[in-house]
């Protein structure tokens, strides 16, 4: 999924999913890095793709 966002050069999962303590209603906590500042539309597209791919809200 991240391959569709070439501006992202790393992603780090944290929070309850990373700790293995997630509940069914837990969100996805993900830090991402990019080579440049991302435009608002790129951020929205990334969050939307992540939410659709995981079935969870994204922070």
Q: What is the dihedral of CA 10, 14, 1, 58, to 10 degrees?
A: -120
Question: Residue ranges of the domains in the chain?
Answer: 2-54
Query: Within 10 Å of residue 56's Cβ, how many Cβ atoms?
Result: 17
pTM: 0.84
In the structure, what pLDDT confidence band is assigned to residue 5 with cuts at 50, 70 and 90?
Answer: very high
Q: What is the per-residue pLDDT across 26-44, written as a single tens digit (0 to 9) for each? A: 999 999 999 999 999 999 9
Higher pLDDT, 7 or 59: 7
Q: Report how many helices (DSSP H) and strands (DSSP E) the chain contains, helices first.
A: 2, 2
pLDDT of residue 3: 87
DSSP state of 38: P
């Amino acid at each position: 999924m991240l391959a569709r966002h070439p501006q992202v050069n790393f992603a780090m999962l944290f929070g309850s999913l990373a700790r293995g303590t997630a509940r069914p209603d837990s969100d996805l906590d993900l830090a991402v890095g990019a080579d440049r500042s991302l435009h608002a539309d790129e951020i929205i597209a990334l969050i939307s793709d992540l939410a659709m791919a995981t079935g969870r809200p994204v922070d």
